Structure 1
Amino acid sequence: MRVLIIEDDILLAESLKEYLEVNNFEAEVLSYPEEIYSVEHFDIILLDLMLKDKKGEYILKEIRKKRLDLPIIVITAKNDMESKEICFEYGADDYIVKPFDPKELLLRIKALTKRIYCCENLRIDNVLIDFSGKKLYVDDLEVHLSRIEWELLCLLAQNRSKLVTMDKILSYIWGDKVVGTESIRTYIKNLRKALPDNFIVTYKGRGYKLK
């Protein structure tokens, strides 16, 4: 998942970038986004309000005017209710006040992307993944999954045709909890039983992807 950090405090931006990359996200820093359309290649945006060239509120408004529905988390030192009201009115999805613990930001990113990117149905051949209803159908028959099996399917579906590494699976589903890769293999095995043959592709020692 690609994160765009729009922040002109270089030290903060680089520390956030490093933290996100350690947690298996791709991150890029822009201090002054000259072209709003360039953001559409990302999956989520972290937006500071107090930028040198343009106010963050303006950038937020322009992104939404162009009908770009990327999730946006405002990161700012502004803690007044007026700023919060303006940002949410312009289309912010979340708002976090500096200074903050990077772990809290990570939790907010995960919660937001789970909610937003698991909202549309995905059909692949005879398989229907109903994200909003949290249901899996094969040949129009509902297949029951455990919570972890469902989250694993969501992660693979969000990254369809892309390799999802073991580290990314561990981070996404279990967070900081220490879990071995054998647990992933067990859940993948159970998930495979619910899906057609060859629906999940294995990259030995690296990870998995949906066909």
Structure 2
Amino acid sequence: MHILIVEDEVGIIQFLQQGLEEEGYNVSCATDGGMGFELIQKNHFDLILLDWMLPKMSGLELCTAIRKKDNTTPIIFLTAKDTVQETIEGLKAGANDYIKKPFSFEELVERIKIHFRNQTDIQLLSLGSIEINLTKHLVTVSNREVFLTQREFELLSYLVRNKGKVCTRNQIIEDVWDIHFDYDTGVIDVFINAIRKKLNLKIEEDYIKTIRGVGYIAND
């Protein structure tokens, strides 16, 4: 699971990043609202931890901007603001949860787990005639079941989650393979070819397009 932390206090970022990575999460960080918005537009995140008071774009403004993009990623506000009106403002902007600073890291981890469990209620992805059931780890094409390896399944799901966005090879290696150093991204092409072969789609149903020299994009 990939978590984005948008927070301008370096000490809090380091504390959260270390703790969440020890819990097994993949973590990215942004130190202002503008940087956070840019990362969100380019990458898929499973959850966003968002500070309220941020440079360039406040947490409230960023939350609103995210929801205007029809992005439903769970957002948890981490903030010292705690009045009823401020809580309502955050929730109206699209936040899913609200934790007051200072907070217990153990409580935060449990809140995160709850949101990930809640996501199991929305476990169907689609791309044209392709349907992906994340709960059952099942892929079908026009109701025909297709067997994919774990890595093939993760790669296809990643592209479909980011439908309409160009996914660079470096992003895919980092987010799907969880590799954060120089690596031969040619392995991605091998997996894409295997996925296409197993899906056995017609030419007009080639929903995964190659962007030469860059990566791939999934489109209906």
Is the shorter-chain TM-score for this pair beyond 0.5, marking a shared fold?
yes
Which residue of 1 is the match for residue 154 of structure 2? 160
CA contact under 8 A between 2:4 and 2:49: conserved in structure 1?
Answer: yes
1:92 aligns with 2:86: no
Which residue of 2 is the match for residue 29 of structure 1? 29
Which residue of 2 is the match for residue 3 of structure 1? 3
1:45-64 matches, within 5 Å, as: 45-64=48-67
Which residue of 2 is the match for residue 78 of structure 1? 81
Instruction: Report how far residue 122 of structure 1 moved.
Output: 6.3
TM norm structure 1: 0.58
Instruction: Report how far residue 4 of structure 1 moved.
Output: 0.6
| Aligned AA (1:95) | Y
CA contact under 8 A between 1:14 and 1:29: conserved in structure 2?
Answer: no
CA contact under 8 A between 2:33 and 2:59: conserved in structure 1?
Answer: no
Identity of aligned residues (%): 31
Instruction: Report how far residue 33 of structure 1 moved.
Output: 3.6
Q: What is the rounded CA distance, in whole Å, between the counterparts of 1:73 and 1:33 in structure 2?
A: 15
The alpha-carbon distance between structure 1 residues 33 and 93, as it changes in their structure 2 partners (threshold 3 A), is same
1:168-183 matches, within 5 Å, as: none
Instruction: Report how far residue 130 of structure 1 moved.
Output: 8.1
Q: What is the rounded CA distance, in whole Å, between the counterparts of 1:117 and 1:28 in structure 2?
A: 23
Instruction: Report how far residue 84 of structure 1 moved.
Output: 0.6
Instruction: Report how far residue 39 of structure 1 moved.
Output: 1.1
CA contact under 8 A between 2:34 and 2:57: conserved in structure 1?
Answer: no
What root-mean-square deviation, in Å, do the aligned CA atoms of Structure 1 and Structure 2 show? 3.3
Q: What is the rounded CA distance, in whole Å, between the counterparts of 1:85 and 1:62 in structure 2?
A: 17
CA contact under 8 A between 1:49 and 1:74: conserved in structure 2?
Answer: yes
The alpha-carbon distance between structure 1 residues 122 and 28, as it changes in their structure 2 partners (threshold 3 A), is closer
Q: Structure 2: 5+ residue runs without aligned partners?
A: 144-149, 156-175, 179-220
Instruction: Report how far residue 28 of structure 1 moved.
Output: 1.6
SS at match of 1:69: coil
The answer to which of 36-45 and 15-24 deviates more is 36-45
Instruction: Report how far residue 61 of structure 1 moved.
Output: 0.5
TM norm structure 2: 0.56
Deviation by residue 1:58-106 (Cα, 9 ceiling, x = unmatched): 1110111111111100000111111110111111011100111111111
The answer to which of 29-38 and 72-81 deviates more is 29-38
Q: What is the rounded CA distance, in whole Å, between the counterparts of 1:50 and 1:34 in structure 2?
A: 13
Alignment size in residue pairs: 144
The alpha-carbon distance between structure 1 residues 121 and 28, as it changes in their structure 2 partners (threshold 3 A), is closer
